[in-house]
Amino acid sequence: MPKELQITASAAGHPAALLDLPWQLPLEDWPDEHLVNLPRGISRHVVRFARAGGEVYAVKEIGEWAAEREYGLLRDLDRLGVPSVDPVAVVTGRTDPAGAEDLEPVLVTRLLQGSMPYRAMFETTMRPSTIQRLLDALAVLLVRLHLAGFAWGDCSLSNTLFRRDAGAYAAYLVDAETGSLRPRLSNGQREYDLEVARMNIAGELMDLEAGGSLHPSVDPIRSGQEIVTRYGELWHELTRTSVYPVEKRHYIDRRIRRLNELGFDVAEMQIQRSPEGDAVTFLPKVVDAGHHQRQLLRLTGLDTEENQARSLLNDLETWMTSQEDYAPGDPLGARPEVLAHRWVRDVFRPTVRLVPLESRGEMDPSQIYHELLEHRWYMSEAADRDVGMEAAAADYVRTVLAR
């Protein structure tokens, strides 16, 4: 008796559109009319990109138990906010047209718009600075996975997608087949995952090098080790326990500066208040050159140099987290543009006015604010407490501008 085709999907997966695909055929035999030719990495399974209902999906033939397990893991990662592909459905009960032969079940995921496999990215000619950002984005992904308790088990260039969004470099997990989710990973589990990543990345780069597809500036062995090094720096900076008393909130600036020095920016901050002080969690990101200028101009209308923009954006982000209506991702929270306008009105402009016009020389307001932030930082470090902006401005006018 022929089996019945079953599609297990969430309501958001639009399972009805998937019925148009030729499930009675092995993936290898799907006709071109259903397929989309896109770059993909190396896979131990048959993978095809197919169009259905106006969307493009990645379809992978895999055993039923493995398909259902990976589908569940990808949904868990989505719930945890970890960058990964969107699981759509598991299709089982596939048979040939005569019903005589069982076909392997498939896992269906939604194509990540504007993305490319990391392996395909390294096949193109890239500047060394771009290569470094790609590796940094992959290190960020590994850290975020491990912070969420996910051990990947098979990190590679083929299992990772790259996407550039508004100047930010982001890596996304594609294949969760070998992964496992736990409340917390041990150091040994993390180190094993890193060793697998190092070996896989170096091996794929050596494969590309042997085929003449790798840029001469890329050293496969060094690139594999670079992931481990960058991961270690970022992991230490993000996980060391810190609670900031009210009088020592300049320590938050210290952490942000440290991340900046490592080459990472702060995508988001989360602050948990308690009687002992504020516990701050940072979400890192990797950005393109000029990103801060564009972001600050979009949010505030301030047109500055890149370093000024980074300084002002860090201050804006820290101030935003102190506002009661700051709720990233919550439709009821204030939009970033609204908060940024409030910051310009209530913080930026009043602070700049602390410096008398006759003392400013040719400095524009953004440079004044940037230098006040720097001066406040050094004063707070020396005093081991947050001295506040008014005291910093008065001392800046007296000791710096007076000369």
Q: Which of 23, 30, 75 is nearest to 49 (CA)?
A: 30
Least confident of 57-61, 84-88, 248-252: 248-252
Q: Is the pLDDT of residue 195 over 70?
A: yes
The one-letter code for the residue type at 254 is R
pLDDT 10s digits, 135-184: 888 998 999 999 889 999 999 999 999 887 656 788 999 999 899 999 99
pLDDT tens digits along 332-348: 677 888 899 999 999 99
127 lies in the same domain as 61? no
Length of the chain: 403
Exposure b/e, 60-86, CB count within 10 A at least 16 = b: bbbeeebbbbbbebbebbeeeebbbbb
Query: 180 and 157 in one domain?
Result: yes
* Residue 227 pLDDT: 92
How many domains does the chain fold into? 3
Considering the domain architecture, whether residues 194 and 180 belong to the same structural domain is answered as yes
Of the three residues 67, 95, 111, the one that is the final residue of a domain is: 111
Say if residue 294 is in the same domain as residue 354.
Answer: yes
Shared domain check, 362 and 297 = yes
Domain containing 72 — which CATH number? 3.30.200
- Residue 25 has, within 13 A of its CA and on its CB side, a CA count of 11
Half-sphere exposure of 223 (CA within 13 A, CB side): 27
The CATH code of the domain that includes 161 is 1.10.510.10
- Residue 379, token pair as written in the block: 């004063």
Q: What are the tens digits of pLDDT across the range 387-396?
A: 888 999 999 9
CA distance 166 to 196: 31
Q: Considering the chain, what percentage of its residues have pLDDT values greater than 70?
A: 91
On whether both 135 and 200 belong to a single domain, the answer is: yes
Query: Tokens standing for 316?
Result: 């804006």
Q: In terms of domains, do 91 and 123 share one?
A: no
Mean pLDDT of the chain: 84
Across 96-120, average pLDDT:
85
User: What are the Cα distances from residue 106, in Å, to 3, 44, 198, 374?
Assistant: 15, 14, 29, 56
178: containing domain: 116-239
**Greatest C-alpha distance within the chain:** 93
Whether residues 105 and 152 share a domain: the answer is no
- The one-letter amino acid code at 317 reads E
Same domain, 123 and 227: yes
In a domain, 271, yes or no: no
Verify that 155 and 173 share a domain, yes or no: yes
Q: How many CB atoms lie under 10 A from the CB of residue 389?
A: 19
pLDDT of residue 240: 75
At 2 the pLDDT is 55
Closest C-alpha to 119, from 171, 158, 174 = 158
Establish if 193 belongs to a structural domain.
yes
